Amino acid sequence: MYIFLNKKIVKEADALVSVYDHGFLYGDGIYETMRAYNGIIFMIEKHLERLGRSASLTQLVVPDTRFITEAVHRTLEANKLSDAYIRVTVSRGKGPVGLDPSLCKEPTFVVIAEPFREYPEHLYKKGVKLVIANTRRNLVEAINPKIKSLNFLNNIFAKMEAKERGAYEAIMLNVEGVIAEGTVSNIFFVKENVLCTPAPEVGVLDGITRELVIRIAKKSGIRVSEGRFCPSDLFSAGEVFFTNTTSEIMPVSQVELVSFKVGEVTKALHALYKEEVRRYISAAEQQRSRATGA
């Protein structure tokens, strides 16, 4: 595999980051994950916009969007990938031991691209099991969830709970006991013909897939409620699913001891999401053809 490190493509064995990098020492950095379909990075503009927001909120300098876009495409090309998982990481960079960000003179920039491995089809047909973690989501006042941060220990603890209890994913509550999000996902449920999902202000990273699903639902005439929901609201729902960049819309068959069917709303939204992806990829391919004169 080849990695884009700082300003060039290098072999994986040569993609070395200093032990004094503050991303390693303190988790001081940000990242974005993306998915490429047929060589087109889906909604890359939204991902780069959010990376810029994370950078602004952490006072971290990142390369401009043109440089990042080129780096992502070069990494795909170097690894001969068309359907891929992509991760862009920017850390504070190398500096002496200490928390002062000014100790680091230049950020570390990394792009990783790996072959995308499709999720097993049976997961989408039967759904997955979730549990509600004892680990609470970080306070909004402590770490702003709008920052997609390398500092992920909070979520890792919840993921450990999920694994220990034989679950696929964990739902995290905020300090008030209100549903926030999964460890790497946004939570949705359907109740009384309304699509419900936690509002960003309860402690949610406003996922790009989440935003698209909400838009698709509204366009399809489905009522959407973004609010404050307790576990009891979810337990009395008819359908549950979660979203993220790689799994898109993943049905949930069980939360704790409560079972759910993979319902018609979930299936319909996933089909519409797939159609949105196809439209985006088709438009991007046409634009690329015009640009190259093909």
What is the SS3 assignment for 257? Answer: coil
Query: What confidence tier does 294 reach under pLDDT thresholds 50, 70, 90?
Result: low
Annotated catalytic residue 261: no
Q: Which fold has domain 121-278?
A: D-amino Acid Aminotransferase; Chain A, domain 2 (3.20.10)
Rounded to whole angstroms, the Cα distance separating 63 from 283 reads 26
pTM as predicted: 0.93
Give residue limits of the domains in the chain: 2-115, 121-278
Give the tens place of pLDDT for each residue, 21-57: 999 999 999 999 999 999 999 999 999 999 999 999 9
- Give the pLDDT mean for 77-87: 97
Instruction: Say whether pLDDT at 293 is over 70.
Output: no
Same fold, 2-115 and 121-278: no
Give the active site residue among 148, 219, 261, 274.
148
The arrangement of secondary structure in 2-115, i.e. its CATH architecture, is 2-Layer Sandwich (3.30)
Instruction: Say whether pLDDT at 290 is over 80.
Output: no
Yes or no: say if 99 and 26 are a contact pair by the CB < 8 Å rule. Answer: yes
Query: What confidence tier does 289 reach under pLDDT thresholds 50, 70, 90?
Result: confident
Rounded to whole angstroms, the Cα distance separating 214 from 56 reads 26
